[in-house]
Each structure stands twice: as structure tokens, then as C-alpha cells.
Amino acid sequence: MDKFIIHGGRKLKGTVEIGGSKNAALPILMATLLTDEPCIINRVPDLRDIRTTIKILQELGKKVEYDAGTLTVKAGRKLKTEVPYDLVKQMRASFWVAGPLLARFKKAVIPLPGGCAIGVRPVDIHLKGFEKMGAKVLVQNGNVILKTRKLNPAKIILSFPSVGATQNLMMCACLVKGRTVLENVAREPEVSDLIKALKSMGAEITQDAKGRIIIEGKSELGGMEHTVAADRIQTGTYIIAGAVTRGDVTVKDCIPEDNEILLDYLKEAGFDLQVGEDWIRIKPKCKKIKPVNIKTAPFPGFATDLQAPFMTLMCLCGGQSEISEDIFENRFMHAPELVRMGANITIERNTAKITGVKNFSPAVVMSSDLRGGAALVLAGLCAKGVSEVERIYHIDRGYEHFEDNLTKLGAKIKRVNPVTQ
């Protein structure tokens, strides 16, 4: 099992280019199930979750080619309506095949999904929406079974602005004749990118002044060519990496407004930020990092996926700060590992109380999830000495060429596999 060995204590300096968003690319790839026409998707990151998605599409019957960031999906054999558990267990986003399959074939069998161990994250919001559209839902032997004779347009009010449910129901509604209205929807940039992709396939989707998504369903959709938007979580992570090492880092080919609240908090913490149309530069402004209290929330609030990296930064602040996690339970699993590296963190229900320390100490730590793993790498970059981060397959799910990009910025980080050494 691969791990990172990090020789910390170096200030990062230089420029890193941001690739396509994993969280945007995944549902767009699933949307290719809505058509038999060829689909070309550019700027697709080379990540473990992308490779899993390719296997899912191939298993279902699609012909997929992936070369230099461009993914082409064409019709292959007759599409299946059931996904094997061995693929679904690797990635929670695999449940997004439900909407397209249900819309086209009026049935789907999807094992309950896996992914990072950061809480239950139930799919009940998806299922209640499908039921509103006329689907019968049965959970049996670990599978979600969806079937119906006919789907009908509906007004669906989400109980929580779930990104996954918004995207899944939206894809399904594109092939349900009539007007479907989704309320209390997610407003994340990844939702907007999916809307652009679906519209390029011929879908008729609008958003009104109240933020509702209105879909005028069609009998069929065509192919698409779409370029995936920049990854705002990678953008934020590299900016925070510059902050924790007190370096001078410029992030290029990004969308600064997607990380506006993060940039505001970094300024509050005492960092100097310069922002252009598609780039952000961060460098230290003062000797001490100021404590900042944050609370995760749906977009445009503070992204839950940046909570763990930001905790690493707050561990080095000159005072006390608090981080409240209001999106997922169990998303402080990285905190005990940061404590192993010298951090002073106490957890009370959904709030982490952090007292800043002078520096991290090198240690051997273990990733429990994607973003928590990135947070541990950032801590290792600060700790003077040699740290090891194990189970980095979690990190590979969401960061393309992570160690290569950090090395270009001056980090001393190496991927090793103890079995092959």
C-alpha cells in the first residue's frame, strides 16, 4: 500500500496549475448514460474515482476512451440496469447512475454506495425525489431497487440542499416529459457545470430568481462536448498549503470566485492575497497566523471539503479557534492524527476547538478519508523532520499528481510502496 514520505520544514514557492474538478466531472460522466450519442468531455482529471467511473460505464455497456485528459464515451453493447457491488463500494458517487438509468429504462438496481468513512450520508433525499416522480423504491439485500411503468414530472422540495440529490434528480428529469421543479437545491459550482453539460446535450434547464431548477423534460438527448470546470477544492488546498508553510504560492487556471469565502478567511488570518481573473497568489503578511472561527455550510458557505486542510492551518494559529462541521458527521477523523503530530485539538460533538501550537512534530500518521489525508500531508510539509502518511489511496481519489505538484513548489515528498521496496 503506497504512502508518502515527507521531509518537512520547507516553504513552498512557485506556481501550480489546477486541473478539472473531480466533483464536477463525475456526474457529467454519469450523464452520458442519458444518450447513445457520442460524448466528448475535456479536462477530465486522472484520478482513482474517475477510473472507477470509467469501469462502471464500461460494465453498464458503454465504450470509453480516455487519453490526455479527454474522455470519449460512445454506445457499445446494450446497456445494463444493474451495477455490481465491487465497483459501487469504491465510490459514493456511483449512485448517480440511478437517475439516468431510471429515466431511460424505468428500472435500476444500485448497491448502497461506499466511499470515504466520514459518516452515513444517506441517499434518502435521492430516493424521496424518485418516489415523487413515480418510482417505487425497495431496499433489499443491500441494493436499492428502483422501478416504474412511467415517470411523471413533479415539484420536488429537497429536505437539504444535497449536491448529489440535486444532480441525480436533475439528470433523471431531463428525460421525463413535462415540467419538473426542484426547490431547496444545491448551488455549488459543480451543479452549474452539470447544467452546462446537460444543456449542451439538448436539455432545457433554467434557474429562476428563487434558485429553483426548472427542467422541461424531453424524449431524448443528444451527445455533447464539454470542458470540465476548474477544481475549487484543489485550488483551496494548494492555497492553504502555501499558507501553512508560510510560502509564496500562485494557483493558475482556477476560478477565484468559487473560493471567495476561503480567501476572506485567509485574509482574516493575516495572509496577503492577490487575485486575478483566473489566478490567486498567497504569501505571509505577518509573523503570527490569526485564529479564525469557521462553520461549514452549503455553497456559497465554507466548503466541507476544505474543512480538514483549514484545520491544519488553524493548528498553527496564535490563539484559539473553532471549526464547526454541519454537513457530515464523523468528519473530524483526521484530528487525532494531527494531535499525534503535536496539534492541540479537542472535539465536542460537531465542533473542533483548536489551540495553536508553534509547529507540528514529524510522525507516522494514517489517512482515513480524502480531505483528511490532504490535511495530514500539509501538516507533514510544516513539520521539521520526516513524516509518513499512510493509506494515501484515499488522497488519490481527489488530487491529481499531488506529490508532483507539491514537489514543483519545493516540497520534498516521495511516494513509496513498502511491498515493492
**From CA 126, how far away is CA 164, in angstroms rounded?**
8
Do residues 348 and 94 lie in contact, with contact meaning Cβ atoms separated by under 8 Å?
no
Between the alpha carbon of residue 57 and those of residues 98, 100, 134, 282, 348, the distances in Å are: 12, 12, 26, 40, 42
- Quick one: pLDDT at residue 303? 96
Asked if 191 and 334 sit in the same domain, the reply is no
Asked if 7 and 48 sit in the same domain, the reply is no
Asked if 369 and 410 sit in the same domain, the reply is yes
Asked if 184 and 263 sit in the same domain, the reply is no
Asked if 259 and 168 sit in the same domain, the reply is no
- Quick one: pLDDT at residue 118? 31
Assigned domain for 133 exists? yes
**From CA 211, how far away is CA 371, in angstroms rounded?**
29
Assigned domain for 349 exists? yes
Question: How does pLDDT run along the chain (421 residues), one tens digit per residue?
Answer: 899 999 999 999 999 999 999 999 999 999 999 999 999 999 999 998 899 999 999 999 999 999 999 999 999 999 999 988 888 776 767 889 999 999 999 999 988 765 433 344 468 899 999 999 999 999 888 888 999 999 999 999 999 999 999 999 999 999 999 999 999 999 999 999 999 999 999 999 999 988 999 999 999 999 999 999 999 999 999 999 999 999 999 999 999 999 999 999 999 999 999 999 999 999 988 789 999 999 999 999 999 999 999 999 999 999 999 999 987 666 799 999 999 999 999 999 899 999 999 999 999 999 999 999 999 999 999 999 999 999 999 999 999 999 999 999 999 999 998 776 5
Asked if 68 and 125 sit in the same domain, the reply is yes
Asked if 244 and 182 sit in the same domain, the reply is no
Domain-ending residue, one of 210, 227, 244: 227
Assigned domain for 421 exists? no
- Quick one: pLDDT at residue 393? 93
Element (H, E) at 255: none
Domain-ending residue, one of 227, 242, 271: 227
Among all chains, which residue has been given the C-alpha cell 425525489? 129
- Quick one: pLDDT at residue 116? 39
Do residues 110 and 83 lie in contact, with contact meaning Cβ atoms separated by under 8 Å?
yes
Asked if 31 and 154 sit in the same domain, the reply is yes
Asked if 286 and 216 sit in the same domain, the reply is no
- DSSP strand E in 360-405: where? 364-366, 385-390
- Quick one: pLDDT at residue 115? 43
Split into its structural domains, the chain has a count of 2
Asked if 285 and 155 sit in the same domain, the reply is no
| Nearest CA among 29, 93, 12, 18 for reference residue 258 | 18
Domain-ending residue, one of 187, 211, 227: 227
Assigned domain for 171 exists? yes
Assigned domain for 404 exists? yes
Domain of 368, CATH number, reads 3.65.10.10
**How many other β-carbons are positioned within 10 Å of the β-carbon of residue 331?**
26
**From CA 287, how far away is CA 302, in angstroms rounded?**
25
In terms of residue numbers, what domain contains 343?
3-19+230-416
Asked if 7 and 152 sit in the same domain, the reply is no
Catalytic residue among 39, 116, 172, 315: 116
- Quick one: pLDDT at residue 285? 82
Q: Which three cell numbers stand for residue 263?
A: 480567501
What pTM was estimated for this model as a whole? 0.93
Q: Which three cell numbers stand for residue 81?
A: 440496469
Element (H, E) at 105: helix 98-105
- Quick one: pLDDT at residue 329? 64
Buried b (16+ CB within 10 A) or exposed e, 9-23: bbbbeeebebbbbbb
- Quick one: pLDDT at residue 122? 65
Asked if 127 and 249 sit in the same domain, the reply is no
Active site residue 174: no
Assigned domain for 238 exists? yes
- Quick one: pLDDT at residue 412? 98
Assigned domain for 370 exists? yes
Do residues 190 and 24 lie in contact, with contact meaning Cβ atoms separated by under 8 Å?
yes
Assigned domain for 202 exists? yes
